[in-house]
Amino acid sequence: MFKIFYFFTALIVFLFKPEKYSIFSYDYNFFISLIYFSLISVFLLEQRLRDKNWLRFDLIFLIGYSIVHFQIPFLASIGIEPSRPYFVWLNKDVVNYATWMSTVAISLWILGYSLLSGKKAIYSNQSESFIINYRLLDNLLLVFFVGFLITVGRSFLTGAYNVESWGVGATYFLLLLEILIYLRILYFFRDLPKESSYNYIFKKILLNRIFFIILIAYTLLFFLSGSRGELIRILLIIAFAYSIYIKSISFKFILVSILIGSFILTLMGLGRSRDTVDFGNQSLLERGYTNYKDTDKQSNFTEELATSIRIQYRAIDIVPYSYPYMYGYTYIGTLSGVIPFASSFIINFLNIPDCYKGSASFFTCVGQGNNITYGEGSEILADLYINFGLYGTFFIMFWFGCLVSKINNNIKKKKFTYILIYSILLITALAMSRGTVLYAYKDIVYILFFHFLFSGKFKLAK
């Protein structure tokens, strides 16, 4: 019944296709947005009937997708313009088309996800058996953490948020450190019995001192600098591991966490600074609250994320009329980047211009020309559209839904390889809508590599 509903919803929305360029229609955007919200409500109801655990990729992904693709056009349809309309409405005549495109794309994603969904989720109590060399893992964690501290520079260590001031090598140390931390968290919860009490978990923490000292130090460093992405990913992977191995997480917990977390993260964003001279005598949150009281965005914590929709508007406006479809050209750097130093070598060898190293670079060059002052970023549908066109975007979104559903089915069987893949997808789910479908690609490859290493499958960890 649900699959039939999703199919006909996608078909009906597809038939309501507007012209690519047309005057912004309040009624049309309101109508399409209502269809979208009805669609995801039915989908989440279906998933709730199948799975009582609410900490899932589909939920987090749809939250991010809804904010990016529907917050601004829906609010505009009821007369609430974005705070920076000149920044968002790059060409308001493509908004009707973009809203339609976003609805069809997610309808097909949901249809693909539903087609491969199993029956009611029954999580296996038997975890996959393998032995981990924790001594090697913790020693490597310590090496990469110290390496990051040495190379990152004094500015970051004193609380400044300025990636450009990092020393050479800090980014590479951080990448490997993050992957090892994610892996260690999943290993830790995997070894715990089902329904473990908080007291029992705390006792186990005391037996893993090196790891948890590094985890706490890592978390504090990024919190004090106001860097939110690292904190969100750590919290999500801890919560995910808990939900898989210990106890399911309720929707109420997710909702409360989002409300409280969004406010704290907003204060962190407002309180951070690129230079320690701006700190004064206030802490990060105190500075954030002071700035929060003076800002005119107190009622809208999600507008920064929502403005990523402007990239989709730009993509529709300029491709293929001003720029041809790229047929995967912008993915060369991303796909080769999983091998250290290979990306720059291949880009130079193929003589790929800087503006085509990725979709984010492309949109930045288009938007700012030769006077680049900041990165424009990318957006999931825009990234697909400039490479494969409208129908290619729809096909890949359908395939992506099928793939995620397949992975989700296997984590219920406690297949650890799929748990690793799913965990990376989950912690990148919220930001994926303002990036690409390959957003989690590199981290997935690295976490699988290290798992094979520490579980002895490469016979190097023995």
How confident is the model over 301-323, as pLDDT tens digits? Answer: 788 899 999 999 999 999 999 99
Structure-derived torsion over alpha carbons of residues 398, 399, 405, 408, reported in degrees to the nearest 10 = -140
pLDDT value at residue 462: 36
- Angstrom distance (rounded) from CA 124 to CA 48: 18
Mean pLDDT of the chain: 91
Over residues 324-338, the mean pLDDT reads 93
- Angstrom distance (rounded) from CA 227 to CA 223: 6
Least confident piece of the model among 165-174, 219-228, 315-324, 452-461:
452-461
Q: Say which residue the tokens 């004064």 belong to.
A: 280
Over residues 232-259, the mean pLDDT reads 93
pLDDT value at residue 389: 97
pLDDT value at residue 460: 37
- Angstrom distance (rounded) from CA 170 to CA 154: 12
Percentage of residues in the chain with pLDDT exceeding 90?
Answer: 69
Higher local confidence (pLDDT), 290 or 205: 205
> pTM for this structure?
0.93
Higher local confidence (pLDDT), 24 or 281: 24
Q: Which residues contact 105 (CB under 8 A, 6 or more apart)?
A: 381, 393, 394, 397
Let me know: does 454 contact 190? Beta carbons within 8 Å.
Answer: no
Rounded to an integer, what is the distance from CA 121 to the centroid of its chain? 24
Least confident piece of the model among 71-85, 330-344, 356-370:
330-344
DSSP letter, residue 93: G
Helix boundaries (H) for 246-370: 251-271, 284-294, 303-306, 309-318, 332-336, 342-349, 359-368
DSSP 409-425: HHHTTT-HHHHHHHHHH
Structure-derived torsion over alpha carbons of residues 316, 338, 233, 50, reported in degrees to the nearest 10 = 70
pLDDT value at residue 381: 98
Question: Residue 94: which pLDDT band, with cuts at 50, 70 and 90?
Answer: very high
- 187-198 pLDDT, tens digit per residue, is 999 999 999 999
pLDDT value at residue 262: 82
Question: Residue 461: which pLDDT band, with cuts at 50, 70 and 90?
Answer: very low
Amino acid at 142: L
- Angstrom distance (rounded) from CA 185 to CA 212: 9
Question: Residue 459: which pLDDT band, with cuts at 50, 70 and 90?
Answer: very low
Angle, to 10 degrees, between the axis of helix 251-271 and the axis of helix 228-245? 160
Over residues 437-452, the mean pLDDT reads 94
Over residues 147-154, the mean pLDDT reads 93
Instruction: Region of 446 please: left (phi>0), alpha (psi -120 to 50) or beta.
Output: alpha
Evaluate if residue 451 carries a pLDDT over 60.
yes
Q: Which two tokens stand for residue 52?
A: 């009582």
The two most distant CA atoms of the chain are separated, in Å, by 66
Over residues 323-338, the mean pLDDT reads 93
pLDDT value at residue 12: 96
Least confident piece of the model among 190-199, 228-237, 271-280:
271-280
Q: Which residues contact 196 (CB under 8 A, 6 or more apart)?
A: 246
Evaluate if residue 421 carries a pLDDT over 70.
yes
pLDDT value at residue 322: 95
pLDDT value at residue 167: 78
Evaluate if residue 65 carries a pLDDT over 90.
yes
Evaluate if residue 130 carries a pLDDT over 90.
no
- Angstrom distance (rounded) from CA 303 to CA 75: 11
